[in-house]
């Protein structure tokens, strides 16, 4: 509890210091006198429209990132189609249901495998029915 009180006191004192600096900053800016550029290089740098350059560079990077995102999406779709074609060819070649189930699990995620329902043979004659009943009692 004591450490909490000390931390609150430190944060409050930090907030007061920042507030005092924020109030004093406008006075310091008003008192400073701007000097004229002294040589040709300084005058040239002053004439460069930095705000416009910043906006142009920002727009360039925005467009670059959009195009990159588009290319990545196209590449992702291409890979997904390739995986689907591999899946179809492997199932067609092997013809095994277990491979199809495993691939479906890989593609669709971790879904619970449903166990196949085992169909019990239905007795066709009366004697088979009696034999089945006797087996169940044992």
What pLDDT digit, counting tens, does each position of 64-98 carry? Answer: 999 999 999 999 999 999 999 888 887 666 655 66
d(CA 64, CA 58): 10
d(CA 41, CA 29): 25
Question: Which of 13-27, 70-84, 107-121 is the least confident region?
Answer: 107-121
Rounded to the nearest integer, the mean pLDDT of the chain is: 77
d(CA 28, CA 18): 15
Nearest of 16, 11, 15, 17 to residue 3 by alpha carbon:
11
CA distances to 100, 102, 120 from 110, rounded to whole Å, are 14, 10, 30
pTM of the model: 0.38
Q: Which residue has the higher pLDDT, 101 or 14?
A: 14
pLDDT of residue 129: 67
Q: Which residue has the higher pLDDT, 119 or 59?
A: 59
């Amino acid at each position: 509890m004591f450490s909490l009180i000390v931390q609150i006191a430190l944060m409050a004192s930090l907030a007061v210091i920042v507030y005092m600096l924020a109030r004093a900053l406008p006075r310091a800016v008003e008192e400073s006198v701007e000097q004229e550029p002294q040589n040709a290089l300084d005058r040239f740098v002053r004439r460069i429209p930095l705000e416009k350059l910043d906006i142009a560079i920002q727009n360039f990077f925005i467009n670059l990132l959009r195009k990159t995102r588009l290319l990545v999406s196209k590449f992702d779709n291409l890979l997904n189609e390739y995986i689907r074609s591999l899946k179809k060819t492997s199932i067609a070649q092997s013809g095994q249901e277990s491979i199809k189930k495993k691939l479906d699990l890989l593609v669709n995620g971790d879904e619970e495998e449903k166990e196949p329902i085992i169909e019990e043979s239905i007795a066709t004659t009366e004697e088979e029915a009696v034999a089945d009943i006797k087996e169940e009692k044992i």
